[in-house]
Chains A and B, each alone.
Chain A
């Protein structure tokens, strides 16, 4: 069953513009010039109940604008949005009762008091009966392993701990649909892992549908049943991660520092740049050579001192998508 239907969604903003310099700044006080920015252009897609859909795209692509239109924060300039039977912007007050949202860089917690106190606000906002609230809170807190930290002021928590508390805050009212905007941004590997496991758990246990925007390909790979790639406000891809991998390839950017002169395997490695005899950067094609085999091959020749593996920038993936389309 489709719970989200977006048809030809467009959103434009009137953005002030002026030339650099003092004269232009003073002129803008009296006569301001504007330009129209098309943040989202004719985007259409549907989401089924229980799906985890990843919205992928570079900065300024329009991902967050789509999320904000879906959550009822922004009114669409044109097009139609139906979510859970509601028109989000005009029916915002009734609609938001059924959704949850978490913005990675914006906190819902009260800064100077413990998250446990902030949770009580959610209880009253969503009118959750006391016993039910306690049961849900304990369940979520236990699942995220944050029993010890919810009684410390939010300002004293690490980013990862705070993010886990944000998840409790966003899910206490058992929303059917949750929007996550960069939920793992700035988190370490362990915190990311815990968050991903938690999302998978709630998706399976409660059937919660998730829409997440991210820059992190690992998030998409581990979580998303489907990927929608947004570029320049337009939808350029809508399919499974496996299909994206087929088009965009499965590459990783690798940087290695070794004890003696670095010797790289010939297969699966391209774009090699030697920073020094002991340090190199290159692109690894995982379809040809896995990470474990790469490490093994390098370590056979010399000791590895440092190894950094990152995803290719989203811009690269999009460039590959456009190439494939052409």
Chain B
């Protein structure tokens, strides 16, 4: 782990140096990402101004939900968002082979090489919304800290998606659109589960555990849901285990590009 972290630090430093070669592109991406992800919280504020909103969930609770999800997505994206396109590019060009020549875990090294700081815009917007939501919702800073800790399960969920999609890319090549499924998942997770039909709501707790990304942690911390609901946090752990297994299984089927 210490070795991996050292390599991660070197790759992060190299990634910054590399990105600074195109400063304007980096700045525009960062600002664009930051502003684009402020749109949903603004939309929620506007919605609560003209309607009853989402039942028992106050505007503060909703902002807390959005902030938690964006914080988790931002944290995951900074380290992992490059994973899918990076894998895709490497598999297509045959440079995935070079990755397998490094004396470290292949997935770990791919993560090292996929670090992308322009997604820090998403992380910062999530952080901003989260802090504002903590103030508006009236939860204590201890509860906020607990929520931030529970967000690690959301990070686990998004990380599982990235790993699974990267593995699919190695197997089937040119599956960049998979990236959008992560966006779709996040969009469905942005709302309290009670607005969905019961079948879909059950699905979002179990097989496709979108609820653990924000709804369950925020619901438990704000008192809308019983503590027992935290038991469903086992699903992202299982999902991560499955994704990592699928990744390793995929490597045994890797055929490499010709030449």
Contacts and interface: CB of A to CB of B under 8 A. Distances in A.
Interface in B6-56: 6-7, 10-11, 14, 17-18, 21-22
Contacts of B143: none
Nearest to B22: A112
Contacts of A75: 252
Contacts of A214: none
Contacts of A126: 103
A96 B101 contact: yes
A35 interface: no
Interface in A54-96: 60, 64, 68, 71-75, 92-94, 96
Scoring A97, A107, A112, A126 by chain B CB atoms within 10 A of each residue's CB, the highest score goes to: A112
A106 B93 contact: yes
A73 B22 CA distance: 33
Contacts of B97: 68, 71, 73, 103, 106
B70 to A, nearest CB: 29
A13 B255 contact: yes
A110 B17 CA distance: 10
Contacts of A96: 100-103
Interface string B84-105: 0000000001110110111111
Report, as a range, how many residues of chain A touch the other chain.
Answer: 20 to 34
A273 to B, nearest CB: 32
A68 B257 CA distance: 11
A125 interface: yes
A124 interface: yes
Contacts of A118: 14
A101 B21 contact: no
Contacts of B10: 120-121, 124
Contact of B95 (A94, A97, A106, A125): A106
18 contacts: A64-B259, A68-B97, A72-B100, A73-B97, A73-B100, A93-B105, A96-B102, A97-B103, A105-B259, A110-B14, A113-B14, A117-B17, A120-B10, A121-B10, A121-B11, A124-B10, A125-B7, A127-B3
Interface of B: 3, 6-7, 10-11, 14, 17-18, 21-22, 93-95, 97-98, 100-105, 252, 254-256, 258-259
